[in-house]
Protein backbone atom coordinates (compact mmCIF):
# COMPACT_ATOMS: atom_id res chain seq x y z
CA UNK A 1 0.00 0.00 0.00
CA UNK A 2 1.30 3.45 -0.90
CA UNK A 3 0.74 6.28 1.53
CA UNK A 4 0.93 9.83 0.23
CA UNK A 5 1.47 12.86 2.37
CA UNK A 6 0.07 16.12 1.04
CA UNK A 7 -2.04 18.30 3.22
CA UNK A 8 -4.03 21.25 1.99
CA UNK A 9 -3.58 22.92 5.39
CA UNK A 10 0.19 23.17 5.04
CA UNK A 11 1.61 26.66 5.35
CA UNK A 12 4.54 25.83 3.07
CA UNK A 13 2.96 24.06 0.10
CA UNK A 14 4.99 23.23 -3.01
CA UNK A 15 2.92 25.77 -4.93
CA UNK A 16 3.85 28.44 -2.40
CA UNK A 17 7.53 27.52 -2.18
CA UNK A 18 8.10 27.34 -5.94
CA UNK A 19 7.70 31.12 -5.95
CA UNK A 20 11.21 31.23 -4.46
CA UNK A 21 12.54 29.25 -7.45
CA UNK A 22 12.42 31.72 -10.31
CA UNK A 23 11.75 29.91 -13.61
CA UNK A 24 10.97 26.53 -11.97
CA UNK A 25 7.70 24.59 -11.89
CA UNK A 26 6.28 21.68 -9.88
CA UNK A 27 5.72 18.25 -11.41
CA UNK A 28 4.84 14.68 -10.43
CA UNK A 29 5.83 11.38 -12.01
CA UNK A 30 4.66 7.80 -11.45
CA UNK A 31 7.80 5.64 -11.41
CA UNK A 32 8.67 2.25 -9.92
CA UNK A 33 5.33 2.08 -8.12
CA UNK A 34 5.61 5.48 -6.42
CA UNK A 35 4.62 9.05 -7.21
CA UNK A 36 7.58 11.41 -6.96
CA UNK A 37 7.42 15.17 -6.72
CA UNK A 38 10.10 17.17 -8.51
CA UNK A 39 10.76 20.72 -9.64
CA UNK A 40 12.17 21.55 -13.07
CA UNK A 41 13.80 24.71 -14.41
CA UNK A 42 16.41 26.05 -16.80
CA UNK A 43 17.58 24.51 -20.07
CA UNK A 44 20.59 22.68 -21.41
CA UNK A 45 22.32 19.53 -20.17
CA UNK A 46 20.40 18.00 -17.27
CA UNK A 47 21.42 17.99 -13.62
CA UNK A 48 19.36 15.82 -11.22
CA UNK A 49 19.56 16.88 -7.56
CA UNK A 50 18.68 14.62 -4.63
CA UNK A 51 18.24 16.10 -1.10
CA UNK A 52 18.87 14.55 2.30
CA UNK A 53 17.55 14.38 5.88
CA UNK A 54 15.82 16.28 7.36
CA UNK A 55 15.24 18.49 4.31
CA UNK A 56 13.32 18.53 1.02
CA UNK A 57 13.74 19.78 -2.55
CA UNK A 58 13.80 23.32 -1.16
CA UNK A 59 17.32 22.74 0.21
CA UNK A 60 18.74 23.07 -3.32
CA UNK A 61 17.50 26.62 -3.77
CA UNK A 62 20.94 28.28 -3.83
CA UNK A 63 22.37 25.59 -6.10
CA UNK A 64 19.39 25.19 -8.43
CA UNK A 65 18.94 28.88 -9.14
CA UNK A 66 22.61 29.28 -10.01
CA UNK A 67 22.87 26.26 -12.30
CA UNK A 68 19.54 26.91 -14.03
CA UNK A 69 21.36 29.74 -15.84
CA UNK A 70 23.39 27.17 -17.78
CA UNK A 71 21.64 23.80 -17.29
CA UNK A 72 18.29 22.13 -16.93
CA UNK A 73 17.99 21.47 -13.20
CA UNK A 74 15.61 18.90 -11.72
CA UNK A 75 15.33 18.61 -7.93
CA UNK A 76 13.53 15.50 -6.68
CA UNK A 77 11.82 14.70 -3.40
CA UNK A 78 13.12 11.15 -3.01
CA UNK A 79 10.83 8.32 -1.90
CA UNK A 80 9.55 9.15 1.60
CA UNK A 81 10.29 12.88 1.35
CA UNK A 82 8.05 15.93 1.09
CA UNK A 83 5.01 15.36 -1.11
CA UNK A 84 6.45 12.26 -2.76
CA UNK A 85 4.85 8.96 -1.79
CA UNK A 86 5.74 7.32 1.51
CA UNK A 87 5.21 3.58 1.00
CA UNK A 88 5.74 0.99 3.71
CA UNK A 89 8.83 -0.45 1.97
CA UNK A 90 11.43 0.20 -0.70
CA UNK A 91 13.84 2.41 1.25
CA UNK A 92 16.98 0.49 0.42
CA UNK A 93 19.11 2.71 -1.80
CA UNK A 94 19.05 0.25 -4.70
CA UNK A 95 15.26 0.51 -4.94
CA UNK A 96 15.38 4.29 -4.48
CA UNK A 97 17.99 4.49 -7.24
CA UNK A 98 15.62 2.62 -9.52
CA UNK A 99 13.02 5.32 -8.76
CA UNK A 100 15.44 7.92 -10.11
CA UNK A 101 16.51 5.75 -13.04
CA UNK A 102 12.91 5.41 -14.16
CA UNK A 103 12.34 9.14 -13.65
CA UNK A 104 15.30 9.90 -15.91
CA UNK A 105 13.87 7.65 -18.63
CA UNK A 106 10.37 9.06 -18.20
CA UNK A 107 11.79 12.54 -18.84
CA UNK A 108 13.38 11.34 -22.06
CA UNK A 109 16.91 11.94 -20.80
CA UNK A 110 19.90 9.83 -21.81
CA UNK A 111 22.76 10.80 -19.49
CA UNK A 112 22.69 13.29 -16.63
CA UNK A 113 24.87 14.76 -13.93
CA UNK A 114 23.68 13.64 -10.50
CA UNK A 115 24.18 15.72 -7.35
CA UNK A 116 23.32 14.10 -4.03
CA UNK A 117 23.53 15.46 -0.50
CA UNK A 118 23.35 13.34 2.67
CA UNK A 119 20.81 10.50 2.08
CA UNK A 120 20.42 11.85 -1.44
CA UNK A 121 24.13 11.23 -1.96
CA UNK A 122 23.66 7.60 -1.00
CA UNK A 123 20.87 7.25 -3.55
CA UNK A 124 22.96 9.05 -6.17
CA UNK A 125 25.87 6.66 -5.62
CA UNK A 126 23.53 3.67 -5.81
CA UNK A 127 22.23 4.99 -9.13
CA UNK A 128 25.81 5.23 -10.39
CA UNK A 129 26.60 1.69 -9.20
CA UNK A 130 23.44 0.09 -10.57
CA UNK A 131 22.67 2.24 -13.63
CA UNK A 132 26.01 3.74 -14.76
CA UNK A 133 24.70 4.14 -18.30
CA UNK A 134 22.55 7.13 -17.23
CA UNK A 135 25.19 8.92 -15.13
CA UNK A 136 27.60 11.21 -16.95
CA UNK A 137 29.12 12.78 -13.83
CA UNK A 138 28.45 12.27 -10.13
CA UNK A 139 28.68 14.84 -7.33
CA UNK A 140 28.51 13.60 -3.73
CA UNK A 141 28.09 16.21 -0.99
CA UNK A 142 28.57 14.60 2.44
CA UNK A 143 26.71 11.44 1.49
CA UNK A 144 28.78 8.36 0.60
CA UNK A 145 26.98 5.05 0.06
CA UNK A 146 26.55 3.00 3.27
CA UNK A 147 29.48 0.69 3.94
CA UNK A 148 30.74 -1.62 6.67
CA UNK A 149 32.55 1.26 8.36
CA UNK A 150 29.15 2.39 9.65
CA UNK A 151 29.01 -0.70 11.84
CA UNK A 152 31.93 0.70 13.84
CA UNK A 153 30.24 3.98 14.74
CA UNK A 154 30.30 4.49 18.53
CA UNK A 155 27.20 3.99 20.63
CA UNK A 156 28.58 6.49 23.16
CA UNK A 157 30.66 9.62 22.45
CA UNK A 158 34.30 9.74 23.46
CA UNK A 159 34.66 11.61 26.78
CA UNK A 160 34.90 15.35 26.31
CA UNK A 161 33.85 15.33 22.64
CA UNK A 162 30.08 15.72 22.86
CA UNK A 163 29.32 19.41 23.15
CA UNK A 164 27.08 22.02 21.59
CA UNK A 165 28.86 21.61 18.23
CA UNK A 166 29.87 18.38 16.52
CA UNK A 167 33.54 17.55 17.10
CA UNK A 168 35.14 17.34 13.64
CA UNK A 169 37.77 14.87 14.87
CA UNK A 170 35.40 12.68 16.91
CA UNK A 171 31.94 13.17 15.35
CA UNK A 172 29.01 11.68 17.24
CA UNK A 173 25.97 11.30 15.01
CA UNK A 174 23.57 9.89 17.61
CA UNK A 175 20.56 10.11 15.24
CA UNK A 176 22.06 7.34 13.10
CA UNK A 177 21.15 4.98 15.92
CA UNK A 178 17.98 6.75 17.05
CA UNK A 179 16.50 6.56 13.56
CA UNK A 180 16.96 2.79 13.57
CA UNK A 181 14.23 2.45 16.18
CA UNK A 182 10.87 1.54 14.65
CA UNK A 183 7.64 3.05 15.90
CA UNK A 184 8.97 5.12 18.81
CA UNK A 185 10.43 8.24 17.12
CA UNK A 186 7.13 9.15 15.46
CA UNK A 187 5.35 8.89 18.81
CA UNK A 188 7.90 11.16 20.44
CA UNK A 189 8.38 13.65 17.60
CA UNK A 190 5.00 13.98 15.89
CA UNK A 191 3.99 17.61 16.19
CA UNK A 192 7.37 18.40 17.82
CA UNK A 193 9.83 17.89 14.99
CA UNK A 194 10.98 21.50 15.16
CA UNK A 195 12.91 20.61 18.34
CA UNK A 196 14.93 18.02 16.43
CA UNK A 197 15.37 20.29 13.40
CA UNK A 198 16.83 23.09 15.51
CA UNK A 199 19.10 20.77 17.47
CA UNK A 200 20.55 19.02 14.41
CA UNK A 201 21.14 22.20 12.41
CA UNK A 202 22.73 23.97 15.38
CA UNK A 203 24.88 20.95 16.23
CA UNK A 204 26.36 20.17 12.81
CA UNK A 205 26.66 23.69 11.32
CA UNK A 206 29.55 25.98 12.22
CA UNK A 207 27.34 29.04 11.65
CA UNK A 208 23.80 27.89 12.34
CA UNK A 209 22.39 31.33 11.50
CA UNK A 210 22.87 30.46 7.82
CA UNK A 211 19.84 28.15 8.17
CA UNK A 212 17.04 30.71 8.22
CA UNK A 213 13.88 30.69 10.29
CA UNK A 214 11.87 30.13 7.13
CA UNK A 215 13.96 27.12 6.13
CA UNK A 216 13.72 25.60 9.60
CA UNK A 217 9.95 26.06 9.55
CA UNK A 218 9.65 24.49 6.08
CA UNK A 219 11.52 21.34 7.10
CA UNK A 220 9.84 21.07 10.49
CA UNK A 221 6.46 21.09 8.77
CA UNK A 222 7.58 18.55 6.18
CA UNK A 223 8.61 16.03 8.88
CA UNK A 224 6.08 16.85 11.58
CA UNK A 225 3.62 13.96 11.03
CA UNK A 226 4.05 10.32 11.96
CA UNK A 227 4.05 9.08 8.35
CA UNK A 228 6.87 11.39 7.33
CA UNK A 229 8.96 10.48 10.39
CA UNK A 230 8.41 6.76 9.72
CA UNK A 231 9.37 7.07 6.06
CA UNK A 232 12.49 9.16 6.63
CA UNK A 233 13.70 6.86 9.39
CA UNK A 234 13.26 3.97 6.95
CA UNK A 235 16.15 5.41 4.92
CA UNK A 236 18.35 4.67 7.94
CA UNK A 237 16.75 1.35 8.78
CA UNK A 238 17.70 0.08 5.30
CA UNK A 239 21.43 0.61 5.87
CA UNK A 240 21.96 -3.10 6.61
CA UNK A 241 20.62 -4.05 3.18
CA UNK A 242 22.54 -1.19 1.57
CA UNK A 243 25.79 -2.47 3.07
CA UNK A 244 25.10 -5.98 1.77
CA UNK A 245 24.32 -4.61 -1.69
CA UNK A 246 27.54 -2.59 -1.70
CA UNK A 247 29.61 -5.77 -1.46
CA UNK A 248 28.64 -6.63 -5.04
CA UNK A 249 29.36 -3.24 -6.61
CA UNK A 250 32.27 -2.54 -8.94
CA UNK A 251 34.36 0.63 -8.86
CA UNK A 252 32.67 3.60 -10.50
CA UNK A 253 34.17 4.59 -13.84
CA UNK A 254 32.56 8.00 -14.40
CA UNK A 255 34.10 11.21 -13.02
CA UNK A 256 33.12 11.70 -9.36
CA UNK A 257 33.38 14.88 -7.30
CA UNK A 258 33.22 14.62 -3.54
CA UNK A 259 32.47 17.73 -1.51
CA UNK A 260 33.23 17.25 2.16
CA UNK A 261 32.34 19.41 5.13
CA UNK A 262 34.49 20.12 8.17
CA UNK A 263 33.46 16.77 9.66
CA UNK A 264 33.30 14.47 6.65
CA UNK A 265 36.09 15.44 4.27
CA UNK A 266 38.69 13.30 6.05
CA UNK A 267 36.46 10.23 5.86
CA UNK A 268 35.60 10.91 2.22
CA UNK A 269 39.29 11.26 1.38
CA UNK A 270 39.94 7.80 2.79
CA UNK A 271 36.86 6.11 1.29
CA UNK A 272 36.42 7.52 -2.21
CA UNK A 273 39.50 5.92 -3.85
CA UNK A 274 38.14 2.47 -2.96
CA UNK A 275 34.86 2.95 -4.82
CA UNK A 276 35.76 5.47 -7.56
CA UNK A 277 38.47 5.13 -10.22
CA UNK A 278 38.27 8.78 -11.24
CA UNK A 279 37.50 10.97 -8.24
CA UNK A 280 38.37 14.37 -6.86
CA UNK A 281 37.61 15.75 -3.40
CA UNK A 282 37.01 19.36 -2.41
CA UNK A 283 37.22 19.99 1.35
CA UNK A 284 35.07 22.80 2.70
CA UNK A 285 36.47 22.79 6.21
CA UNK A 286 35.07 26.26 6.92
CA UNK A 287 31.50 24.97 6.90
CA UNK A 288 29.39 22.16 8.32
CA UNK A 289 27.21 19.43 6.87
CA UNK A 290 24.49 21.73 5.48
CA UNK A 291 26.88 23.25 2.98
CA UNK A 292 24.24 24.47 0.49
CA UNK A 293 23.17 27.00 3.12
CA UNK A 294 26.46 27.60 4.91
CA UNK A 295 28.99 27.68 2.05
CA UNK A 296 26.91 27.84 -1.18
CA UNK A 297 29.43 29.91 -3.16
CA UNK A 298 32.19 27.36 -2.59
CA UNK A 299 29.85 24.49 -3.50
CA UNK A 300 28.81 26.18 -6.75
CA UNK A 301 32.42 26.95 -7.64
CA UNK A 302 33.50 23.36 -6.99
CA UNK A 303 30.70 21.94 -9.13
CA UNK A 304 31.23 24.41 -11.97
CA UNK A 305 34.96 23.58 -12.08
CA UNK A 306 34.11 19.87 -12.08
CA UNK A 307 31.59 20.17 -14.91
CA UNK A 308 34.06 22.15 -17.02
CA UNK A 309 36.98 19.78 -16.43
Q: What is the pLDDT of residues 143-162, one digit of tens each?
A: 999 999 999 999 999 999 99
Does residue 169 form part of some domain?
Answer: no
Does residue 86 form part of some domain?
Answer: yes
Say if residues 125 and 116 touch (Cβ distance below 8 Å).
yes
**Domain limits at 135?**
14-154+241-308
Nearest to 119 by CA among 163, 156, 65, 81: 81
pTM: 0.96
Does residue 62 form part of some domain?
Answer: yes
Does residue 2 form part of some domain?
Answer: no
Does residue 201 form part of some domain?
Answer: no
Does residue 166 form part of some domain?
Answer: no
Does position 9 have pLDDT exceeding 90, yes or no? no
Cα separation, 26 vs 71, whole angstroms: 17
Residues in the chain: 309
Does residue 215 form part of some domain?
Answer: no
Q: What is the pLDDT of residues 60-106, one digit of tens each?
A: 999 999 999 999 999 999 999 999 999 999 999 999 999 999 999 99
Say if residues 60 and 121 touch (Cβ distance below 8 Å).
no
Q: Measured on CA atoms in the order 227, 224, 235, 102, is the torsion positive or negative?
A: positive
Q: What is the pLDDT of residues 171-226, one digit of tens each?
A: 999 999 999 999 999 999 999 999 999 999 999 999 999 999 999 999 999 999 99
Does residue 93 form part of some domain?
Answer: yes
Give me the CATH number covering residue 72: 3.40.50.1820
Percent of the chain with pLDDT over 90: 96
Q: How many domains does the chain have?
A: 1
Q: What is the pLDDT of residues 133-144, one digit of tens each?
A: 999 999 999 999
**Interaxial angle between packed helices 239-246 and 93-106, expressed in degrees from 0 to 180 and rounded to the nearest 10:** 80
Amino acid sequence: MTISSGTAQQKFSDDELIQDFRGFSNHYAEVNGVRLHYVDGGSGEAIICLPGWPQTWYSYRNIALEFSNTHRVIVVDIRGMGTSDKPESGYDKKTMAQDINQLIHSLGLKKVTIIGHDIGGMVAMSLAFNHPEVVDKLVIADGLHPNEGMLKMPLLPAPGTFGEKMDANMPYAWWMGFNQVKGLPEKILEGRFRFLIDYVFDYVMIDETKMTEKERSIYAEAYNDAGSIRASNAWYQAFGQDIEDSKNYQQLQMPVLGIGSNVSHQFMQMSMPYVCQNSHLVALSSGGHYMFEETPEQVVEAIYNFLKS
